[in-house]
Amino acid sequence: MDTYHFNKAVALVVFNRLDCVQRQMEILKSVTPPRLYIISDGARKDVVGEDGKVKEIREYIEENFNWEGELIKIYADENMGCDARSVTGYHEVFKKEEEAVLLEDDSIPCIDFYKYIEKMLDYYRDIPEIMMVTGFNTSSDYRENGKDYFFSYFPLKCAWATWRRAWTQFDEWKEKYRKWDDCMLYEMLPRRVANIMRVRILSNYNGWAAWDSIWDFLIFYQKRYGIVSAVNYVQNMGTGREDAFHPGEYNPLFLPSYGKFPESFSYRESIKWDKEYDFKQAEIRFPVGCDKNWKRNYIRECLLRFAKRFFPKWLYNSISIMKQKDMQRN
């Protein structure tokens, strides 16, 4: 296997899937990041045998971290849930790091991902218009004037990187949401995708707390960009697995072939939204028909927001439980 010495910190979120962690560690041994943060959630009390899986993964990483560098363990004693564990872990990372790569256990980048990320983190470090960098491209067959990367309002958070200056905005999102005109989404996304994102972001405001949709909101609200590589450097092993946080059918969209880092890589002369690319990849991720219930769901979330503000807490909690059951049916 090729090697490349990566000079940035990497944070890896792990839980109960040893095979994913093993493959991640194979790649990490080839790029030897100077600091590896392991963000590990505690086992769920109602899942038999999960405490053993969590312990096994932690021990595997500790035993296989065999390069010169620092292993920083961010371990939870009790289960926090995927979103809360990721967010609190990233908070810990950016207390110490100015920039870092953020990986989930099933998002496996190739070695060339690190070559690309390193260049982008250095070049755009002090450019506030850029919020993040990703190496996952679901539309890597798209080409435009030889560009090596695109500026996107809707980048995937699947093996990505950001800076402290961007991540520290995360906890401010609810205050920003209260000032937001969500109709602006229709300028930034295809209509059906905008419909879905309006519901997701409002649902987060009502307490759903999916961190990736919150991050999407911060990009939308400020009209800032994520950088997406023109070739794909990432595969997501979580698709079609029953032990995934969001189980579902196998989707080849999440397992595109790895690309190669170009020998003659060039930086963009200016920051400009690549609308054609953005609309293409958004529509691939959310195909026709996927927004059929968005109006009903949006009305539900608006009513829940009203209830949260004006109803007694016990009544609001009852309505929230009904919402969860409705989401499970759909």
Question: pLDDT tens for residues 116-130?
Answer: 999 999 999 999 999
Please state which of the four CATH numbers 1.10.3470, 3.50.50, 3.30.1580, 3.30.1360 is assigned to the domain occupying 1-105: 3.50.50
**What are the domain boundaries of the chain?**
1-105
Q: What is the mean pLDDT of residues 218-239?
A: 93
- Residue 134's nearest CA partner among 261, 233, 63, 209 is 233
154's tokens: 């809707």
In this prediction, residue 217 carries a pLDDT of 97
Question: pLDDT tens for residues 77-98?
Answer: 999 999 999 999 999 999 999 9
Question: When comparing pLDDT for 284 and 145, which is higher?
Answer: 284
Distances (CA, A) of 151 to 40, 124, 258: 32, 12, 20
Strand order in the sheet with 225-229: 70-75, 35-40, 9-14, 99-104, 160-163, 130-134, 225-229, 149-152
- Per-residue confidence at 244, pLDDT binned at 50, 70, 90? low
Q: What is the mean pLDDT of residues 230-258?
A: 72
Dist CA 186 CA 188 (whole Å): 5
Global pTM reads 0.90
In this prediction, residue 330 carries a pLDDT of 46
In this prediction, residue 241 carries a pLDDT of 57
Q: Where do we find the tokens 């790569």?
A: 101
Distances (CA, A) of 56 to 22, 28, 39, 49, 59: 11, 19, 14, 11, 5
Is the separation of the CB atoms in 307 and 315 below 8 Å? Answer: yes
